[in-house]
Structure 1
Amino acid sequence: MKQAIVARTDVGMGQGKLAAQVAHASLSAYEKADTQLRDQWKRGGQKKVVLKGESERQLHELSEIAERDGIPTALVRDAGHTQLEPGTVTALAVGPAADDRVDRVTGDLSLF
């Protein structure tokens, strides 16, 4: 079991902003997962990977692929209080789900 969080590299987020957006995505996707997935993931150590995303379009495409496969997802839009314009898509969480299911969606991306 794992969760992959894809964070955009093209919007110029600082490290703190990046960390916050990744955390928002992780928690939001976790909350969308059913009880069985959540329990399995928690028992397995809540494995996560953070990956590089190129664009808003890419995050939307990955989200659609994961949703078609029944994997919990969360697309994060920034509130715009600090570095980014309101509504800027910053991150996508895919999972928690079985490693191979998450890898079918995000396996071609580079680690952050």
Structure 2
Amino acid sequence: MKQAIVARADLGMGKGKLAAQVAHASLSAVEDTGTRSEKQWKGGGQKKIVLKANSEKKLFQLADEAERDGIPHAVVRDAGHTQLEPGTVTCIAIGPDSDENIDRITGSLSLY
């Protein structure tokens, strides 16, 4: 079991902003997960990976794939209090789910 968080590299977010957005995405997707899967993921060390994409369009493509496959996911939009305009889509978390399901969707992406 793992979770992939895909963040937009094209926004130039600072390290702190990136960390906050990734945390928002991870938590939001876990809240969309069934209790059994959540417990299994947590019991296995909460494995996650942070990847990058270069557009909002790519994040929504990933969301569509996760939705079709029934995989928990969450798209994050920034509140606009600091570096970005309100509503800017910053990242998506996919999973937790099986490594195979996550890799099928995100396997072609690079590490952040």
- TM-score after normalising by structure 2: 0.99
Aligned to 1:84: 84
Where do 5+ consecutive residues of structure 1 fail to align?
none
CA distance in 2, matches of 1:27, 1:39: 14
Aligned to 2:74: 74
User: In the TM superposition, what are the counterparts of 1:1-112 in structure 2 within 5 Å?
Assistant: 1-112=1-112
Where do 5+ consecutive residues of structure 2 fail to align?
none
Total equivalences in the alignment: 112
User: What's the secondary structure of 1:5's corresponding residue?
Assistant: strand
Q: Residue 102 of structure 2 aligns to which amino acid in structure 1?
A: V
CA distance in 2, matches of 1:104, 1:54: 19
Q: Compute the displacement of 1:53 (Å).
A: 1.0
- TM-score after normalising by structure 1: 0.99
User: What's the secondary structure of 1:67's corresponding residue?
Assistant: helix
Q: Compute the displacement of 1:33 (Å).
A: 0.3
CA distance in 2, matches of 1:42, 1:86: 32
